[in-house]
Amino acid sequence: MIRLGVNIDHVATLRQARRTAYPSVLEAAALCEQAGAHGITVHLREDRRHIQDADLYALRESLATRMNLEMANNPDIVAVALDVKPDEVCMVPERREELTTEGGLDVAGQRDSLAPVVADLRRAGVTVSMFIDPEPRQVEASAAIGAPCVELHTGAYAERSGAGREAELERLMIAARLAREAGLQVNAGHGLNLENLGPVLRLPGLDTLNIGHSIVCRAIFTGLERAVAEMLERISK
């Protein structure tokens, strides 16, 4: 069974647009869990553009499933992670000027700085994943620094079509096979939606898909009728 982790960052993005208390990320997480999600993913960015520190602590107390924290290798964020102790951490690259995470983490080029962080998190009982582009050297580096899991970045696959997409799918297939041969858990995510997901489900040993943006976007429409009805009901009272 392939598990689904739902990223609720963009529920927080909507909240932070007005600095209000709503929409509630706790309510969003609970609804995802009620619908059958196997876990909840959040990204605590250095600039705190969506998820806030307080969200992590509140979610840690309220979640019935697994909590997956995406984070950069930043001392302040690492300290928060070690305090919150999510079930899982996914190490990602981060640039303040980017709209969202662009590309995978260069584990091969950052082994010396990443290895001690991986060790500290694992000692705290946290499963650690590396968010990487589907490149053999990144898979090998992830295993070498002691990460038990990789999350393959599917962004390039999602952005392309035709022969370009097929080529990216093959890169993902090769990386997944290498990861499994190295004894690593294989997760995947970024840019996936109902239309492009199918072929990714064939990745060897795929354990978990982490999907957020497309789910939140679709929820605007599939959940909109009920939201309007509730507002009309409230107005009529």
For residue 70, indicate whether it is catalytic. yes
Q: List 39's β-bridge partners, or say none.
A: 5, 66
For residue 50, indicate whether it is catalytic. no
For residue 190, indicate whether it is catalytic. yes
The DSSP H or E segment spanning 13 is: helix 9-18
Q: At what angle do helices 53-62 and 25-34 cross, to 10 degrees?
A: 40
Catalytic residue among 38, 43, 50, 153: 43
Q: What six digits make up the tokens of 61? A: 């107390």
Residues 6+ apart with CB under 8 A from 23: 11, 14, 15
Catalytic residue among 38, 50, 70, 168: 70
Q: What is the secondary structure of 64-114 as a DSSP string?
A: SSEEEEEE-S-HHHHHHHHHH--SEEEE----TT-SS--S---TTT-HHHH
Cα–Cα separations (whole angstroms), residue 160 to 38, 58, 67, 134, 173: 28, 38, 30, 15, 16
Catalytic residue among 38, 50, 153, 190: 190
Q: What positions carry a catalytic annotation?
A: 43, 70, 190
